[in-house]
């Protein structure tokens, strides 16, 4: 069947692959520099390196040097409270103007900020969770990590970042608190843990990659997050290491991430892809090979069409559809099986 296909000039797209996820434990004051194998978004793209920081000031200086004017800070301190000594929930998009979303669930009610070191929830918490920057700090009161994703300045388009760091408060057990970085395909780029410290200690952990390869950063915030407020910390006779955070520092979303919402083979012989983050000159990729593609003039960043790509769709056969922007940024794949859709387009 393949040999019957017309000979259409096409460009081979080489999808990159990260190595197996790795785990790194570091000790204070050690600056670790490592290398990840290449993610050749294009064959000319160099490998991404990362650098681990335990000093917030050093992290900020390095990020400013690498990518000037792309750093944002969130210290939670400007959030208004109706009453003193209280804890309240904030929306995941509270800091969308700083191009970060604090949860992948847009209606999460588990993101808490406190102007009382969380002592209003449980009296003995206050001594465990002193702020780093007075007077407000942050906690995910749910099981699992707190998930950060990045957007462009339009506040909508998913984007890649190269750096994230946070102040962790009251880490007292190994391997309970830290940062997990993943790329746009959901592959883990690295997992970094904060070492145990004294009761109430604030510690910074941040990682800068040599280029924007990070689609999501998970903050691991101790144990028993779902029971926050109900369990004592390990230093108060409990069994769980309860941990909160304060300042976040990160690179805003700087590279738009093409993201597919739907794929359809139209009756006019065009393969249509809808989504967001499609740059001018984006190409539809079928099973790893990109094809001549047209951005829809009325919504160029959200709709693509390709007659050439449609020629590579075979009836009832699954193909992997992706979109690649001219800068080499590749979307996550969507499996598509042909079924001609009636359409006016």
Q: Which residues bind Ca ion (CB under 5 A)?
A: 75-77, 128, 131, 133, 136, 170, 172, 199, 233, 235, 241-242, 246
User: How far apart are the C-alpha atoms of 209 and 48, rounded to whole Å?
Assistant: 6
CA dihedral 126, 173, 33, 184 (to 10 degrees): -80
* DSSP strands (E only) in 27-143: 33-35, 49-53, 71-74, 87-89, 100-101, 111-114, 137-140
- Closest approach, Cβ 247 to Ca ion, in A, equals 6
- Closest approach, Cβ 128 to Ca ion, in A, equals 4
Cis peptide before 49 (omega within 30 of 0): no
- Closest approach, Cβ 172 to Ca ion, in A, equals 4
- Closest approach, Cβ 167 to Ca ion, in A, equals 8
Choice between 47 and 196, CB closer to Ca ion: 196
Choice between 39 and 136, CB closer to Ca ion: 136
User: How far apart are the C-alpha atoms of 233 and 241, rounded to whole Å?
Assistant: 5
User: How far apart are the C-alpha atoms of 143 and 106, rounded to whole Å?
Assistant: 17
Q: Count Cβ atoms within 10 A of the Cβ of residue 320 and give its class: 0-12 exposed, 13-18 middle, 19 or more buried.
A: middle
Choice between 111 and 282, CB closer to Ca ion: 111
Cβ atoms within 10 Å of 145's Cβ, excluding its own: 17
- Closest approach, Cβ 55 to Ca ion, in A, equals 18
- Closest approach, Cβ 320 to Ca ion, in A, equals 44
The answer to whether 330 and 260 are in contact (CB under 8 A) is no
Cis peptide before 135 (omega within 30 of 0): yes
Choice between 77 and 292, CB closer to Ca ion: 77
- Closest approach, Cβ 196 to Ca ion, in A, equals 9
DSSP conformational letter for 333: P
- Closest approach, Cβ 29 to Ca ion, in A, equals 21
Choice between 240 and 309, CB closer to Ca ion: 240
Choice between 134 and 315, CB closer to Ca ion: 134
User: How far apart are the C-alpha atoms of 118 and 116, rounded to whole Å?
Assistant: 5
Pairing of strands 71-74, 216-221: unpaired
User: How far apart are the C-alpha atoms of 233 and 223, rounded to whole Å?
Assistant: 9
Choice between 51 and 148, CB closer to Ca ion: 148
- Closest approach, Cβ 90 to Ca ion, in A, equals 13
β-pair partners for 316: none
Choice between 130 and 333, CB closer to Ca ion: 130
Q: Which two tokens stand for residue 115?
A: 């102007």
The answer to whether 196 and 190 are in contact (CB under 8 A) is no
Pairing of strands 33-35, 23-25: unpaired
Choice between 76 and 193, CB closer to Ca ion: 76
Which residue minimizes CB distance to Ca ion?
235
């Amino acid at each position: 069947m393949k040999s019957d296909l017309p000979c259409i000039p096409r460009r081979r797209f080489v999808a990159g692959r990260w190595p197996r996820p790795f785990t790194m434990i570091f000790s204070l004051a050690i600056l670790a520099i490592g290398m990840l194998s290449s993610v050749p978004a294009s064959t000319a793209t160099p490998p991404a390196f990362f650098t681990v920081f335990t000093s917030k000031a050093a992290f900020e200086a390095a990020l400013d040097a690498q990518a000037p004017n792309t750093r944002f800070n969130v210290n939670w301190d400007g959030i208004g409270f109706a009453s003193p000594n209280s804890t309240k929930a904030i929306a995941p998009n509270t800091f969308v103007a700083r191009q970060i979303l604090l949860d992948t669930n847009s209606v999460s009610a588990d993101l808490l900020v406190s102007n009382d070191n969380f002592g209003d929830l449980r009296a003995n918490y206050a001594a465990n969770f002193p702020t780093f920057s007075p007077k407000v700090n942050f906690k995910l009161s749910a099981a699992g990590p707190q998930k950060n994703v990045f957007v462009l300045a339009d506040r909508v388009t998913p984007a890649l970042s190269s750096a994230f760091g946070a102040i962790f408060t009251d880490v007292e057990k190994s391997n309970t608190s830290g940062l997990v970085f993943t790329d746009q395909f959901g592959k883990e780029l690295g997992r970094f843990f904060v070492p145990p410290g004294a009761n109430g200690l604030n510690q910074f952990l941040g990682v800068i990659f040599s280029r924007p390869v990070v689609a999501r950063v998970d903050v691991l915030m101790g144990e028993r997050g779902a029971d926050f407020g109900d369990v004592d910390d390990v230093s108060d006779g409990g069994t769980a290491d309860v941990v909160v955070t304060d300042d976040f520092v990160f690179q805003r979303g700087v590279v738009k991430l093409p993201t597919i919402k739907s794929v359809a083979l139209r009756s006019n012989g065009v393969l249509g892809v809808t989504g967001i983050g499609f740059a001018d000159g984006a190409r539809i990729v079928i099973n790893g090979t990109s094809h001549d593609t047209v951005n829809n003039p009325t919504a160029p960043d959200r709709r693509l069409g390709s007659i050439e790509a449609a020629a590579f769709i075979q009836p009832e056969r699954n193909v992997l559809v992706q979109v690649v922007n001219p800068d080499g940024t590749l979307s996550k794949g969507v499996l598509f099986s042909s079924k001609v859709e009636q359409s006016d387009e």
